[in-house]
Structure 1
Amino acid sequence: MYSAIGGLGAGGTQDVQLSDIANSVLYGCFFLGGFVAGSINNILGPRLTMSLGTTGYSLYLGSLWCFQLNGTRWFLILAGGILGFSASLFWAAQGSVMMSYPMEKDKGRSFTAFWVIFQMGTFIGAAIALGIQFNSTLPSVSNGVYIAFMIIMLTSIVSSWLVLSPEAVVRGDGTLVELEASLTPKEELHQFIQMFKDWRMVALFPMFFASNYFYAYQGAITAALFNGRTRALVSLLTGLGSMIGSIIIGTITDVLPFGRRNRALVGCAVVFLLTCAVYGGGVYFQTQFTRESVEVAGLKIPWDWTDKQAAGPIVLLWSYYIVDATFQGLAYYTMSSLTNDSFKLARMAGYYKGIQSAGAVVSFGMDAVKTAYLGEALISWLLMVVSFPLCILVLYSVRPTNYEVEHPVHVEEVKSGAVTVEPVTETHINADTAVDRKVSAV
């Protein structure tokens, strides 16, 4: 739902600058929270972490609605900061579940499954907005959109508890996701510091930084070019584009008849070519207008979808989101190829979202001071292109499998007594109970 509102441009409002300021605060807090969110997830477990993480979304949406009704600017900025911290918790828990629960052969498709569900929310949210706005010619989004989204968002606080904890999950090959006891805060801090000594995390910094950088620019031109109902249509189509992109990257990384490293390298090449093709077209389109333009292609803006000039830019924005999904899918697949350890992957997910948010802070900050659209588009493209060689370097270090060095434990080994298991402190259950829960889960 949050992505659907974002896809409307400026959070559905007409004040792009205020939206940029709120988003800069949001991603600034997200950046700070992201570094520790993975460790918090490892201590609290994914269900509690995810539930806490969802609370900020409905508050932020309420602040957008309040601004529409009363023009209350400070509440929107404050809610953005709160959402930044809570979202860092949500995404750390999500990343840990998505990257550590599946078998190695399914990690690309695990991203696809998540991203399709994630973007289905965007798609449904945009469809709700489009249905409500269908006959509207207002420049901004109506109250009914905010009410519908608020109701849906509030349900997530409870529904997140349906997620299985790691110690209750057995993979399809009979291996256990996690039997270790949760680390103490002191131990978790030590492991967190160790992560920054890994050269691969340093090498992936540009990719992580670039992975959300383009949203500010894309949201700004959406708000500038289209009226309210057309922005709802754009949001719906970009959700569809994201689903297509996630299927492309998931298929390449899991289905092609190559070794794991070669599949990842092919995926990297495909994403690079898509990026150059789409952003090349986007830069060409951007040379046709500036922030000060009141007409584009000979027609006064904002456009409605019935205007023939709107078709090309709508397809371009749809294509941007295909690239977005493939780029982020490649980033997640690269991380998940480095280890199967759920604790390590939670820290990586938090680090990824933290650095990603730092890029978004810079991006929305640039847009807030009215940086030229062309400059924003070129920087977004350049950051992505620079990240590919470093990603390839990391992918060359990927092992054919991590099972040989991490020694996964099977259910049969635990039940036969061949493996001794420490109690799981998060849920205060003994080893036999943990295994029984895993077997019943299978």
Structure 2
Amino acid sequence: MSSADEKIPNSTANPPPEDAVLDDESRLPAAAHRGKPWMYRSPKIGPWTLPWYASPISQLLIVSFVCFLCPGMFNAVNGLGAGGQLDGHAVNKANTALYSTFAVVGFFAGSVANRLGLRTTLFFGGFGYFLYVASILSYNHNKNTGFLIFAGALLGVCAGCLWTAQGAVMMSYPDEQHKGKFISWFWIIFNLGGVIGSLVPLGQNIHSKANAVNDGTYIAFMVLMFLGFVLSFALVNPKFVRRVDGSHVIVMKNPSWQSELKGLVQVLRTDYYIVLFFPMFLASNWFTTYQFNGVNLAQFNIRTRALNNVLYWFFQMVGAFVFGYLLDIKSVRRTVRARAGLVLLFVLTMAVWGGGWAFQKNYDRADVLLEDDRTDWTASNYIGPMFLYLFYGFYDAAFQTCCYWFMGALTNNSRKLANFAGFYKGIQSAGAAITWRMDDLNVSYKAYFGSTWGLLAGSLVVAAPVVFWKIKDSIDIEEDIKFSDETLEEVAGNQILEGDEKK
């Protein structure tokens, strides 16, 4: 082992206390300050000491609120079914284009994020959401399907970039002991966007029993999304981020497009077992079209769909909180938590989707009622489907929290995690593209449901070998960085610089 290797700190050897993310700046060694001094000052508000600006938690909060305002609001629009329109075919075509480009770009977006930087990638990603909602507003007046489909395709490119940058921050910035909590905090804030976004159409259409939202709803979403992608500029360069113990994020120094493409191939070679997660990635968005269009749009009027949306995204917050904290229980070894999490998720899959079949077996596309006859929240038969829909939201968050936590438990390397996040979002989006197209082709709801339940359960079985045998109690930092000589050079260079500063 080289002298540079010996200087690399292992942040997992002496983990910080659970409340370290809210500790004061005195816990951060002065030699670890690579950015401006103000980045490492912890502001105090009354009795509370807030985390410094360049801390992992502060950066996570920035990314969380970007997602709160951009994809969070997009989820609120899409959750209405047909993007709030009466006829879902135009929006289905736009979503098919969206997830088709998302699938292609997402797979390589880790290389884009590493090359352009997380801030630029996040900003570009947020812009696409703003344009997409603008295209739906335009469609309300001129029925320009071409512009709507173009905006959907562009959003796929943008979303691939945004979600890869988000995944890299969420999985690589925290230390190993707090990854579940970081995922939980992000998912809660992000889905709060869906909750608040859903309150907009609920408030504006609370007295309406029609099946399309008004222009004011879309304009409100556009304003919020604009604020979101501008907020991306508040993110700092990853090299300035320092954890409470003084350790830094493993980043690559001045990557080129060539090195990034080589790195992508290298990840697939050195971490070949990640392919066993691919069915799980595919399944993670397979069910959303069914839930939004096959249940919410098909069964309920607009104000009830808006209420269902609020409950759906709220219970996503609950699901993220429960699973995020369960996966971080310190008294249980990480290997045991990983295996127990997978088993619990499988049990939840059978319970929630078993209840879903009890509801779905009673109708199919041919049985969908006319707009004026769809269920309102005042109906006596509403309570059962309402509980089913909120459990769908809980399950979605639980499934995706586990996906992120499993990936984050395999490595702490931000470059590698950016590629993992790209694989995840790319394959996830390929599944979504297929399902939006299935809905546009009027595939039977029962057949769609069966494919969803089977894929979810089967993907967990396929992923089990990785969860059971590849996730370790802790990751050795030398193993984590040896896959990239350039990454090692950056880490060693940082340590030498810090040693010079100490002198």
Matched, 1:146 2:213: no
Tell me the CA shift for residue 371 of structure 1.
0.6
Match among 276, 283, 290 for residue 203 of structure 1:
276
Q: Distance in 2 between matches of 1:337 and 1:247?
A: 18
2:124–2:229: 8 Å Cα contact kept in structure 1?
A: yes
Contact 1:224–1:301 under 8 Å retained in 2:
no
Partner of 1:235: 309
CA offset at residue 199 of structure 1? Answer: 2.5
- Cα pair 1:120 1:239 within 8 Å, conserved: yes
CA distance, structure 2, for counterparts of residue 56 and residue 118 of structure 1 = 17
Q: Is the contact made by 2:411 and 2:480 (CA closer than 8 Å) also made in structure 1? A: no
Pick the aligned partner of 2:138 from 66, 69, 90: 66
CA distance 1:433–1:310, change in 2 (3 Å) = farther
C-alpha displacement at 1:294, in angstroms? 4.2
In the alignment, what sits opposite 2:77? 5
1:104 Cα shift? 0.4
Q: Does 1:314 align with 2:386?
A: yes
**Which residue does 2:405 correspond to in 1?**
333
Distance (Å, rounded) in 1 between the aligned partners of 2:311 and 2:149: 28
SS in 1 for 2:415: helix
- Decide whether the 8 Å contact of 2:298 with 2:368 is kept in 1: no
Please show how residues 288-367 of structure 1 align to structure 2 within 5 Å.
Answer: 288-295=362-369, 301-367=373-439
1:387 to 459, 481, 486: 459
* Superposed displacement of residue 384, structure 1: 0.7
2:193 aligns with: 121
Distance 1:421 1:210 in 2: 41
Cα offsets for 1:55-104 (capped at 9, x unmatched) = 11011101111112222211111110000001100001000000000010
The alpha carbon displacement at 1:435 in A equals 8.5
**In structure 2, distance between residues paired with 1:284 and 1:420:** 58
How far does the alpha carbon of each residue in 1:136-166 deviate from its partner, in whole angstroms, 9 at most, with x for none?
A: 2221111111011010001122101112321
Structure 1 CA distance for aligned equivalents of residues 373 and 390 of structure 2: 19
1:217 is aligned, of 276, 282, 290, to 290
Matched positions, count? 418
Q: SS state of the match for residue 108, structure 2?
A: helix
Q: Which runs of 5+ in 2 are unaligned?
A: 1-72, 482-490
Q: Identity percentage over the alignment? A: 39
Relative to structure 1, is the Cα distance of residues 320 and 407 closer, same or farther in structure 2, using a 3 angstrom cutoff? closer
Question: What root-mean-square deviation, in Å, do the aligned CA atoms of Structure 1 and Structure 2 show?
Answer: 2.2
Counterpart in the other structure of 1:20? 92
User: Which position in structure 2 is the counterpart of 1:157?
Assistant: 229
Which residue is equivalent to 2:148?
Answer: 76
Q: 1:420 to 1:211 in 2, by over 3 A?
A: closer
Match of 1:248 in 2: 322
**1:2–1:179 distance in 2 versus 1, CA, 3 Å:** closer
Offset at 1:391?
Answer: 2.0
Which residue number in structure 2 is paired with residue 259 of structure 1?
Answer: 333
Q: CA deviation at 1:433?
A: 13
CA distance, structure 2, for counterparts of residue 158 and residue 322 of structure 1: 30
CA distance in 2 between counterparts of 1:301 and 1:431 reads 70
Structure 1: 4+ residue segments shifted above 6 A: 432-436
Secondary structure in structure 2 of the residue aligned to 1:195: helix
* Structure 2 letter corresponding to 1:169: V
Cα deviation for residue 48 of structure 1 reads 0.8
- Gaps of at least 5 residues in structure 1 are 409-418, 424-429, 437-442
Residue 180 of structure 2 aligns to which amino acid in structure 1?
G
* CA–CA distance in structure 2, aligned partners of residues 132 and 142 of structure 1: 8
1:244 is aligned with what amino acid?
Answer: V
Of residues 14-23 and 95-104 in structure 1, the stretch that sits farther from structure 2 once superposed is 14-23
Check conservation: 2:250, 2:412, Cα contact below 8 A.
Answer: no
Give the partner amino acid of 1:252: L
TM-score between both structures, scaled by the size of structure 2: 0.80
CA drift at 1:293: 1.1
2:167 maps to: 95
Displacement of 1:420 in angstroms is 4.3
Residue 244 of structure 2 aligns to which amino acid in structure 1?
G
Instruction: Check the 8 A contact 2:315/2:390 in 1, yes or no.
Output: yes
Cα deviation, residue 295, structure 1: 4.7
Give 1:182's match in structure 2, choosing from 243, 254, 275. Answer: 254
8 A contact 1:167–1:434 mirrored in 2: no
2:470 to 397, 417, 420: 397
C-alpha distance in 2, partners of 1:176/1:67?
Answer: 47
Q: Is 1:99–1:340's contact at 8 Å kept on the other side of the alignment?
A: yes
Match of 1:268 in 2: 342
SS at 1:14 equivalent: coil
Go from structure 1 to structure 2 and tell me whether the alpha carbon gap of 1:203 and 1:300 turns closer, same or farther (over 3 Å shift): same
- CA offset at residue 167 of structure 1? 0.7
Which amino acid in the other structure matches residue 283 of structure 1?
W
CA displacement at 1:283 relative to structure 2? 1.1
CA displacement, residues 255-306 of structure 1 (integer Å, 9 cap, x when unaligned): 162111110111111111111111011111111011111459xx97322111
Q: Distance in 1 between matches of 2:500 and 2:313?
A: 39
Supply the distance in 2 between the matched residues of 1:420 and 1:368 (Cα, whole angstroms). 53
Over 3 Å counting, the alpha-carbon distance change for 1:420 and 1:62 in structure 2 is same
1:284 aligns with 2:355: no
CA–CA separation in structure 2 for the residues paired with 1:344 and 1:276: 33
8 A Cα contact 1:179 1:422, kept in partner = no
2:3 aligned residue: none
